[in-house]
Structure 1
Amino acid sequence: MKRIILLAFFCCNLLNTVFAQNWDWGGPMDPLQEKFKVLHYELSLQIIPNTKSIQGKNLVTFEAAEKLDTLRLNLIDEYQVEKVLMNGQEVSFVHQNDLLDILPIDCTCNSVEIFYGGVTPIALNPPWTGGFTWEIDLLENHWMGLSSQGEGAKIFMPALDHPSSEPSQGVDLFFTVEKPYFVAANGRLLEKIEEGDLVTYHWATDYHINNYGVNFTLGVFHEAHTLFRSISGQDIMMQVFVLQEDRLKAEALLEVLKVSTATHEKYFGAFPFPNDKIAVVETPYLGMEHQTINAYGNNFQFVPMGKVQYDWLLHHELGHEWFGNKMSVGDWADMWIHEGFTAFGDWLFFEEHGGSEAYFNQAASVIQSIPHAKPVVSPPNSTEEEAYHGEIYSKGAAVVHGLRGVLGDEVFFPMLKAFNNDERFTYQNQVTTQDFIDFVNAYTSQDLSEFLNYYLKTTEIPEVNIKKKGKSGYLVSLKGIGFKIPVEIQTSNGLEKISLGSKPTFVPSLFELKVDPKGWLMLNHK
């Protein structure tokens, strides 16, 4: 579906000006942008709710192996670029087709400062069709949220807008607003600067961060906080920011966040950004995984799960701190690694707090709903729009679930944690589907390439075929595959794990077999 972003601005005379644009990102890397790497963004913006606009600058620090004739950044045309500075001098630029081409002066400059501003693009269906969402809360205060997973950072700042580009030295974020407004953003709040009726909040993170993970939310908030003791032994600041109208719900939300964090840590490892914070902020749209400041708009719809309260939205977005933020992909073709592992983490909450039956019921419910319409892995150099579809969640999780069934818990869970803690694929290093397959093969000393490629890169599902063979057994095969899969089979001797392929395998049993009775695998039972 095309992402059509409408940009609306109601002027003082109530004239409504609407702009339309189709934004996407990813795909092949622009040759001009392959010549440099972004090290750091220093974004300074005044947020002006009355006009739904932003005004400010972005200082981009970069490195290049050679002198650049053109420094190409991305910024939507709806913003007006006022000037560009390098080494304190104004330089020429061309801003069109959502590209900002800067013509550097004759210097060894490694930074550029872009001054820009304008009315913000309005989100039509956040977070899926993103942009800015401007609302008024019940106390008649402005409330703004930003979502940009499908559009990239160019809808709010000049950037090298490609999933492979993450500022290796993090970001500094300065947001100026009128009192009494607050801006929640990534990293740590370093300072609060008051000047008359204005206040500036300075947030910063030293960690790598993906472009759509950079985020900020404006409102009049109530904050609740605690220290979370990580399995690493470190105490980490944990915060929730909710609207004043919801202040009585803040402590309950904080407890839900605490339980979800502990659950993720058990299966994935220690929280990935301990020097910053664990936090969520209430947003005027459903939610999104913004590094250390996840958007939360699920209206506190907690449900009991065992002895704890569960919020599916909060738990899912928090899981992206491990898969999506700590471990990220440079090509949207592999986007399932963000979504599939995180969705599998949702299932693990069911097991941890609801028990094994709750886990398998959840897995069966999701697996039965998978249409098998598109491969989980998209072609290389896919854009976000090409790669994003429902099966990267559901089938991606089902593949990981199936791998658990094949390997067994004693191998699978240590492997899962080891994968997300492998420095080759985390923080400054991004990951691919092939990296994952190679890791599984090396860790398990098994070649599971055909199994994983079949489920990740095709839409086919093996068909279970069972035929009675005499009085003492059955011939069992999986039609449509050229490899074997270890499958649990319920026989008269109990639950056995037997390797099945397209050629029939004799399985002794005095009564009718049940192939994969727990539902580990995506199989077509005819």
Structure 2
Amino acid sequence: MTGARARSTGASGARPPYFPERGSAEYRVASYDLELDYRVGPNRLTGVARLEVIPRVPLDRLALDLGPFRIGKALVDGRAARFRQRRDKLHLTLPRRLPEGEPCTVEVRYSGNPRPLSSPWGGLGWEQLTDGSLVAAQPTGAPSWFPCNDRVQDKARHRISVTTASAYHVVANGRLAGRRSSGATTTWVYEQPEPMAPYLASVQIGRYRSVEVTGAPVPQRLVYPAEAEGRVRHDFGRQGEMIERFAELFGPYPFGAYTVVVADDELEIPVEAQGMSVFGTNHADGARGEERLVAHELAHQWFGNSLTLADWRDIWLHEGFATYAEWLWSEFSGGEPADEHAVRWHGRVSRRPQDLVLSDPGAERIFDDRVYKRGALALHALRRTMGDARFFAMLRAWTDQNRHGSVTTGRFVLFAQAHAHVPVRELLDAWLNRAPLPRLP
């Protein structure tokens, strides 16, 4: 593909989606209300999901994304709806025709043993741990535990209630709105008022200790196995300073609080969720050996969770920015400057095959390391061209004007040009839309 070029950066919406089997453009979901009952030992989940659905076109039928659960009942505005299941889809025949724009409440009662959904990157979604569970759903694992419209641009409010044995601590997105115990079980209720893509919804369950951490512009919480406390408190000890620095560079932290869960198991990679990041015990070595990952996952709260791509082909808008945040934290905290990271990684990427177009890498390559590093290099090239003052002013304006919304590569290119004092569209075209690796300015 050397010399290949993607279509215009503004045309991503006209191209077929990477995951056409997921989601529906015929409606949007304004809110999810999930009531879950989970038994850890048998990995048994019973759920009631209520979705506020708003049709974009007149609807007689509705398709939701949902894994292989047993459906007890489906209701639309309180009336029973006929349903059938096929290939991780729940198809509902509506009791009446819904006109465009008229909201309705869809309720699904379901039960079963949640398990990760298969993908080119392994299992995605709800996963059992040695003693507990976690959710890591990016990009298409949300239907492993609740019925949804699994489109990345379909962001909605969430309320998540989880009842489980009282020995376990539950973390979900947003603010802990309530916790009550009854007999041997405890119900945890979380509310996420800011709109959230389905893949960013998360539940973490384990025998955890939870502490509030001071010294940041927003409340921080660390949740971890008791035996890992020393390592966790040390390795995440500079996170408050990190939040403060990123707020200076990227604009105010976009959510009410930030929670880090260190799961009681080893994980291949950390994963972001909205208002939360999840690490394995192997990422807390007691020597801050993985601090770059702490910076990376934190940066996703701006780039990925508040500003969420509208199309998965634009994933560099998440991963390139989060990788560049690693380099910026290194620069700020006394490590290598971003310039040295960029020169080193430019050399490494130049020795890799020149067959990846950053703005359209292909569905199976959205997590290719070149997306991360070349995305960061594109931002460093733009920073060198614009100068620090204009570049970081542009980033702060970008996060402010698109707060809790959806973004595209085309919009970013136009935005950067509007804030630059010199032409940058050709520069970005070479980095984003052509396969050969450009030279650093």
TM-score range, shorter chain: 0.7 to 0.9
1:90 aligns with 2:84: no
* Pairing of 1:150-161 with structure 2 (within 5 A): 150-161=139-150
Question: Is the CA contact (8 Å cut-off) linking 1:350 and 1:362 kept in structure 2?
Answer: no
- 2:193 maps to 1:206: yes
Partner of 1:473: none
Match of 2:13 in 1: none
* Preserved contact between residue 280 and residue 293 of structure 1 (Cα < 8 Å): yes
1:258 corresponds to: 240
Q: In structure 1, what is the Cα distance between the partners aligned to 2:202 and 2:121?
A: 13
The answer on 1:115 being equivalent to 2:109 is yes
Give, as a single letter, the amino acid of the residue that structure 1 aligns with 2:133: M
Asked whether the 8 Å contact 2:32–2:52 carries over to 1, the reply is yes
1:369 is matched with 348
Deviation at residue 256 of structure 1 after TM alignment: 2.8
> CA 1:127/1:292 → structure 2, altered by over 3 Å: closer, same or farther?
farther
C-alpha displacement of 1:154: 1.0
- Give the aligned partner of residue 318 of structure 1: 298
Residue 378 (structure 1) aligns with: 360
- 1:269 and 2:245 matched: no
Q: Are 1:162 and 2:151 counterparts?
A: yes
In 1, the alpha carbon distance for the partners of 2:348 and 2:93 equals 52
> What is the CA–CA distance in structure 2 between the aligned matches of 1:103 and 1:203, rounded to whole Å?
31
Identity, % of aligned positions: 24
Deviations 1:221-253 (A, max 9, x none): 1111134542xxxxx321000012223344324
Q: Where in structure 1 are there 5+ consecutive unaligned residues?
A: 1-24, 137-141, 231-235, 464-519, 522-526
8 A contact 2:28–2:56 mirrored in 1: no
Contact 1:127 1:287 in 2 (8 A): no
Contact 1:239-1:278 within 8 A present in 2 as well: yes
How far the C-alpha of 1:378 sits from its partner, in A, is 0.8
Residue in structure 1 matching 2:338, options 356, 359, 364: 359
Q: Does 1:293 align with 2:283?
A: no
126 and 72 in structure 1: CA distance in 2 versus 1, 3 angstrom threshold: closer
Q: Secondary structure at the match of 2:72?
A: strand
**How many aligned residue pairs are there?**
415
| Cα deviation 1:262-294 (Å, max 9, x = unaligned) | 2221211111002xx111011232311111121
- Aligned-pair distance for 1:445? 4.3
Alignment correspondent of 1:103: 93
CA distance in 1, matches of 2:79, 2:355: 54
- Identify if the C-alpha distance between structure 1 residues 299 and 455 changes in structure 2 by more than 3 Å, giving closer, same or farther: closer
Distance 1:125 1:197, change over 3 A: farther
CA-to-partner distance for each residue in 1:157-176, whole Å, 9 max, x for gaps?
11001112111xx1000011
1:335 is matched with 315
CA distance in 2, matches of 1:441, 1:126: 36
Q: Label 1:246 to 1:461 Cα distance change in 2 as closer, same or farther (>3 A).
A: closer
Once residues 213 and 260 of structure 1 are traced to their aligned partners in structure 2, the CA distance between those partners, rounded to angstroms, is: 22
Question: Equivalent residue of 2:238, what SS?
Answer: helix
Distance, in Å, in 2 between the alignment partners of 1:219 and 1:418 is: 39
- Could you say what secondary structure the match of 1:50 adopts? coil
Cα pair distance change 1:259/1:63, threshold 3 Å: same
Q: Pick the aligned partner of 1:426 from 393, 403, 421.
A: 403
Secondary structure in structure 2 of the residue aligned to 1:51: coil
Whole-Å separation in 2 of the counterparts to 1:255 and 1:128 = 32
> 2:185, 2:229 → 1: CA distance?
24
Q: What letter corresponds to residue 439 of structure 1 in structure 2?
A: F
Matched, 1:144 2:133: yes
How many angstroms apart in 2 are the aligned matches of 1:281 and 1:36? Answer: 33
Kept after mapping to 2: 8 A contact 1:126/1:147: no
Aligned-residue CA RMSD (Å): 2.6
Q: Label 1:123 to 1:257 Cα distance change in 2 as closer, same or farther (>3 A).
A: farther
Shift of 1:392: 1.5
Letter in 2 for 1:200: T
Given residue 338 of structure 1, which amino acid in structure 2 is its aligned partner?
Answer: H
Aligned mates of 2:219, 2:254 — CA distance in 1: 13
Which of residues 397, 403, 419 in structure 2 aligns to 1:443? 419
Cα-to-partner distance string for 1:305-358 (whole Å, 9 max, x where unaligned): xxxx87122211111000000111111111100000111011001110115x54
1:393 pairs, out of 345, 350, 372, with 372
1:172 aligned residue (159, 183, 191): 159
Query: 1:103/1:228 Cα in 2 relative to 1: closer, same or farther (>3 Å)?
Result: farther
Q: Which has the larger share of helix?
A: 2
Matched residues in 2 for 1:363 and 1:34: separation? Answer: 39
Q: Are positions 1:406 and 2:385 aligned together?
A: yes
1:70 pairs, out of 46, 61, 66, with 61
- Whether contact under 8 Å (1:29, 1:162) holds in the other structure is no
Match of residue 456, structure 1, among 427, 432, 435: 432
Query: TM-score, normalising length from structure 1?
Result: 0.74
1:45 partnered with 2:30: no
78-87 vs 434-443, which deviates more? Answer: 78-87
Instruction: Give the drift of 1:120.
Output: 1.9
C-alpha contact 2:243 2:253 (8 A) present in aligned 1: yes
Task: Decide whether aligned partners of structure 1 residues 26 and 317 sit closer, same or farther in structure 2, where only a CA change above 3 A counts.
Answer: farther
Q: Deviations over 1:79-137 (max 9, x none)?
A: 2222101222321011112111111112776111111121122488998642333233x
The question of whether the paired residues in 1 share the 8 Å contact of 2:63 and 2:92 is answered with yes
Letter in 2 for 1:80: R
Post-superposition offset of 1:214: 0.4
Cα distance in 1 for residues equivalent to 2:135 and 2:286? 24
The alpha-carbon distance between structure 1 residues 213 and 67, as it changes in their structure 2 partners (threshold 3 A), is same
Give the SS at the match of 2:432.
helix
In the aligned structure 2, how far is the partner of 1:430 from the partner of 1:36?
A: 17
> Does the C-alpha gap of structure 1 residues 257 and 337 become closer, same or farther in structure 2, counting only changes over 3 Å?
same
Q: Give the structure with higher Rg (CA).
A: 1
Residues 111, 29 of structure 1: alpha-carbon distance in 2 compared, 3 angstrom cutoff: farther
1:314 partner SS: helix
Deviation of 1:259 after TM superposition, in Å, equals: 2.4
User: Aligned AA for 1:73?
Assistant: L
Supply the AA of the counterpart residue of 1:237: P
Aligned-pair CA distance for 1:201 = 0.2
